[in-house]
Amino acid sequence: MRHAFDPAAFRWEGLAPRAYKDEPGTAHGMAWRGIARTTLRRGVFEVRYFELAPGGFSSLEKHAHEHVVFAVRGAGRALVGSEVVELHPLDLVETGPFVPHRWTNPGDEPFGFLCTVTGERDRPQPLSDDEWDALRADPRTAPFVTSISAREPR
């Protein structure tokens, strides 16, 4: 099976983007903005393409299943555990079990990445209060919980 890639549209033949999440919930960190998801492949492992519009960000979450991420479009910035990483095309980032993570696009162009996960996987969880407070107390990671999530209830 082949899905040709269209560089101009940044889409794969026969595969359409959809919303990032249907029910984000209201726990802290669950807010997100400006993300489209394209499922490129389902099965024992799944491959999704996520694209963040300028200013976009994913929910800040953790889970047992791991992510293997390859940046493929533009530039982005991620929180992975207590680290902030910059992402450019073909950079590889993994998030281990229960490592909090949030993907953001602080730039002016779309930021996109491939994300591979197991087909069977647990549901994302919000961070604990302690995890949240630790991220907020560190000036490097604070932007991922404060300015980004300004609309959140907490």
| Residues at the contact surface with a copy of itself, assessed by CB under 8 A | 1-5, 7, 12, 40-41, 43-45, 47, 66, 68, 70, 72, 80, 83, 85, 88-94, 96, 114, 116, 118
- For residue 96, the minimal CB distance to a copy of itself (Å) is 7
Report yes or no: 64 and 98 within 8 Å, Cβ to Cβ: yes
Q: How far apart are CA 28 and CA 70, in angstroms?
A: 27
Report yes or no: 100 and 81 within 8 Å, Cβ to Cβ: yes
> For this structure, is 72 an active site residue?
no
90, burial (CB in 10 Å: exposed 0-12, middle 13-18, buried 19+): exposed
> Among 87, 114, 115, 127, which one carries the catalytic annotation?
115
- For residue 7, the minimal CB distance to a copy of itself (Å) is 7
Q: Which residues carry out catalysis?
A: 115
